[in-house]
Amino acid sequence: MLSSSGQFIQKLGKFIEKIKFTQNIRTESELELSILPDIEDFIQKELPTQDKDTPVFYHHGTTKEEKLLWSKSKTLQTVHLFGSNVSDMFIFHHKIGAVTIEFKYTKSNKLTSQIQRAIGQSIIATMRHPFAICVIVYKKCRKIPDARIF
């Protein structure tokens, strides 16, 4: 039987897998920005908080406030191993603990090296946090990008 943390992680992973990406994504930053509203909505529905002043979800941000929260979250999420390692998105909630989300966006001709890098970064994240979700999105020749959750 899965814990509530494990159930949340599986549900989030399946949710991310089902997101349809547009063809106009060209970079990892654009990928993160395109998926951000979906993940924010998912977290608000699945992890309600009583305290509106305590953030649950951290990301690079688009506003000054979001960027400040991201900077402050680094003490919660940074893993020190041969330097500092920070995830692309980070969730911290008293009910489930910490979850890192690592994104990689690549073209299919560079897929192997990006898979290695993404999995390595996710493993490093689990040295400090109980959960890491690794999302690899790759663009096939003339097709819509495809995502795989590992």
The yes-or-no verdict on residue 149 having pLDDT over 90 is no
- Backbone angles phi and psi of 15, in degrees to 5: -65, -45
Angstrom distance (rounded) from CA 121 to CA 1:
28
Angstrom distance (rounded) from CA 17 to CA 69:
27
pLDDT of residue 147: 62
**49-62 pLDDT tens trace:** 766 667 889 999 88
CA distances from 123 to 116, 132, 141 (A): 11, 8, 30
**75-96 pLDDT tens trace:** 888 888 888 889 999 999 888 8
- Range in 34-38, 103-107, 110-114, 145-149 with the lowest mean pLDDT: 145-149
